[in-house]
Chain A
Amino acid sequence: MLFNSIEYLIFFLPIVFLVYFFSLKLKHRDITISLLIIFSLIFYSFWNFSLTYVIIISIFINIIILLIYIKFKYKILIIIGIIFNIAYLAFFKYTNYLFQTLFELSFLNQKMDYSLALPLAISFFSFQQISFLIDFKSSNSSKLSINRYILHVIFFPQLIAGPIVKLNELYSCLDKLFLNNKEKIYENIFIGIFLISIGLFKKVIIAEYFEEITFNFVASQPSNVSSLEVILFAFLYSFEIYFDFSAYCDMAIGSARLFNINLPLNFNSPYKSKNFIDFWQRWHITLSRFINDYIFKKLFKIFHKTGNISFSIAFPVLISFLISGIWHGAGHNFILWGILHGFFVLLSHMNKRLKIFDIKSNFVKIFITFFLVSLLWIPFRVSDIGYIFTLYTGLFNFNLNGLFLNNFNIYINNFYYGNIFFLLGSLIIIFGIPNIYQFIDRLKTNQKSFFLYNKFLISIFIIFLFFISIINLEQLNEFIYFQF
Chain B
Amino acid sequence: MNNYNRLVAIIVSVIFISISFFITFNIYIDPYGIYSNHNQKNKMIYKQNERIRKIILSKKLSAKKIFLGTSTIRDGITKEYYDSDTINLSFNSQSPYESLMMIKNINRTDLKEVNLGLDFFIFSKYWEDTLYLRGFNENLYLNNKLKFLKLIKLNLSLDTFKSSLAEIKYGDSKNLIDSQINNVFINFQSTDYETFDKEKIAYFLKRLNQFNYDENYSYSDSYSKLNSFAAIIDIIELCLKEGLKINLIINPTHNSEKFLLDSLNLKEKYFDWVSSFYSISDKYNINLYNFSVINNYTNIDIESFNKYFSDPIHFRLDLSKKYISELNLNNFSKYHYKNMNDQAFRAYYNAEIEYFISDLGISFNHFLNDIKQKKFIGIEINE
**Which A residues are within 8 Å of any B CB, using their own CB?**
6-7, 10-11, 182-183, 186-187, 189-190, 193, 215, 219-222, 224, 402-403, 405-406, 409-410, 413, 455-456, 458-459, 462-463, 466-467, 470-476
Which A residues are CB-close (under 8 A) to B11? 190, 193, 459, 462-463
B200 vs chain A, min Cβ distance (A): 9
Is there an interface contact between A6 and B149, defined as CB atoms closer than 8 Å? yes
Complex CA gap A215/B126 in Å reads 13
Q: Which 3 A-B pairs have the closest CB atoms?
A: A186-B4, A471-B158, A186-B5
Is there an interface contact between A193 and B153, defined as CB atoms closer than 8 Å? no
Which B residues are CB-close (under 8 A) to A187? 4
Is there an interface contact between A190 and B149, defined as CB atoms closer than 8 Å? no
Is there an interface contact between A220 and B133, defined as CB atoms closer than 8 Å? no
Is there an interface contact between A221 and B149, defined as CB atoms closer than 8 Å? no
Is there an interface contact between B133 and A463, defined as CB atoms closer than 8 Å? no
Which B residues are CB-close (under 8 A) to A474? 49, 153, 157-159
B288 vs chain A, min Cβ distance (A): 32
B195 vs chain A, min Cβ distance (A): 17
Complex CA gap A190/B5 in Å reads 8
B48 vs chain A, min Cβ distance (A): 9
Does B361 interact with chain A (Cβ within 8 Å)? no
B137 vs chain A, min Cβ distance (A): 8
Complex CA gap A458/B2 in Å reads 16
Which A residues are CB-close (under 8 A) to B334? none
Does B199 interact with chain A (Cβ within 8 Å)? yes
Does B3 interact with chain A (Cβ within 8 Å)? yes
Does B329 interact with chain A (Cβ within 8 Å)? no
Which B residues are CB-close (under 8 A) to A466? 15
Is there an interface contact between B5 and A182, defined as CB atoms closer than 8 Å? yes
Q: Report the nearest B residue to A6, measured CB to CB.
A: B153
Docked complex: B115-153 residues within 8 A CB-CB of A: 126, 129-130, 133-135, 137, 149, 152-153
Give 7 A-B pairs besides A6-B153, A219-B129, A458-B7 with Cβ atoms closer than 8 angstroms: A186-B4, A186-B5, A402-B374, A413-B199, A463-B11, A467-B19, A473-B153
Complex CA gap A439/B89 in Å reads 51
Q: Can you give 24 A-B contacts (C-beta < 8 A)? A: A6-B149, A10-B152, A182-B2, A182-B5, A186-B4, A186-B7, A215-B133, A219-B126, A219-B130, A219-B210, A402-B374, A403-B374, A406-B206, A406-B374, A455-B7, A456-B7, A463-B11, A470-B156, A471-B156, A473-B157, A474-B159, A475-B135, A476-B135, A476-B137
Is there an interface contact between A190 and B19, defined as CB atoms closer than 8 Å? no
Which A residues are CB-close (under 8 A) to B133? 215
Is there an interface contact between B3 and A455, defined as CB atoms closer than 8 Å? yes
Q: Report the nearest B residue to A193, measured CB to CB.
A: B11
A120 vs chain B, min Cβ distance (A): 15
Is there an interface contact between A183 and B126, defined as CB atoms closer than 8 Å? no
Which B residues are CB-close (under 8 A) to A220? 206, 209-210
Q: Report the nearest B residue to A187, measured CB to CB.
A: B4
Is there an interface contact between B18 and A467, defined as CB atoms closer than 8 Å? yes
Which A residues are CB-close (under 8 A) to B5? 182-183, 186
Complex CA gap A313/B349 in Å reads 67
A260 vs chain B, min Cβ distance (A): 13
Q: Report the nearest A residue to B16, measured CB to CB.
A: A14
Q: Report the nearest A residue to B13, measured CB to CB.
A: A463
Docked complex: B1-28 residues within 8 A CB-CB of A: 2-5, 7-8, 10-12, 14-15, 18-19, 22
Is there an interface contact between A471 and B22, defined as CB atoms closer than 8 Å? yes
Which B residues are CB-close (under 8 A) to A458? 7
Which B residues are CB-close (under 8 A) to A189? 4, 8
Choose from B2, B158, B199 the contact partner of A183 (Cβ within 8 Å).
B2
Which B residues are CB-close (under 8 A) to A472? 157-158
A406-B202, A410-B203 known; A467 and B15 CB under 8 Å?
yes
Complex CA gap A187/B343 in Å reads 77
Which B residues are CB-close (under 8 A) to A221? 210
Q: Report the nearest B residue to A471, measured CB to CB.
A: B158
B53 vs chain A, min Cβ distance (A): 13
B363 vs chain A, min Cβ distance (A): 22
* Most chain A C-beta atoms within 10 Å of own C-beta, residue among B129, B135, B161: B135
Is there an interface contact between A473 and B156, defined as CB atoms closer than 8 Å? yes
Complex CA gap A410/B203 in Å reads 7
Is there an interface contact between B157 and A186, defined as CB atoms closer than 8 Å? no
Which A residues are CB-close (under 8 A) to B126? 219
Q: Report the nearest A residue to B161, measured CB to CB.
A: A471
B54 vs chain A, min Cβ distance (A): 16
Complex CA gap A190/B153 in Å reads 25
Which B residues are CB-close (under 8 A) to A183? 2, 4-5
Is there an interface contact between A463 and B202, defined as CB atoms closer than 8 Å? no
B131 vs chain A, min Cβ distance (A): 12
Which B residues are CB-close (under 8 A) to A410? 199, 202-203, 206
B10 vs chain A, min Cβ distance (A): 6
A219-B126, A472-B158 known; A459 and B7 CB under 8 Å?
yes
Choose from B10, B134, B376 the contact partner of A459 (Cβ within 8 Å).
B10
Complex CA gap A422/B130 in Å reads 25
Complex CA gap A359/B55 in Å reads 61
Which B residues are CB-close (under 8 A) to A6? 149, 152-153, 156
Per-residue 0/1 for B198-232: is the Cβ within 8 Å of any A Cβ (1 yes, 0 no)?
A: 01001100100110000000000000000000000
Which A residues are CB-close (under 8 A) to B7? 186, 190, 455-456, 458-459
B187 vs chain A, min Cβ distance (A): 11
Complex CA gap A473/B199 in Å reads 29
A459-B7, A474-B159 known; A11 and B149 CB under 8 Å?
yes
Complex CA gap A472/B130 in Å reads 20
Complex CA gap A262/B10 in Å reads 24
Complex CA gap A98/B107 in Å reads 49
Which B residues are CB-close (under 8 A) to A11? 149
Is there an interface contact between A463 and B2, defined as CB atoms closer than 8 Å? no
Which B residues are CB-close (under 8 A) to A476? 135, 137
Is there an interface contact between B130 and A186, defined as CB atoms closer than 8 Å? no
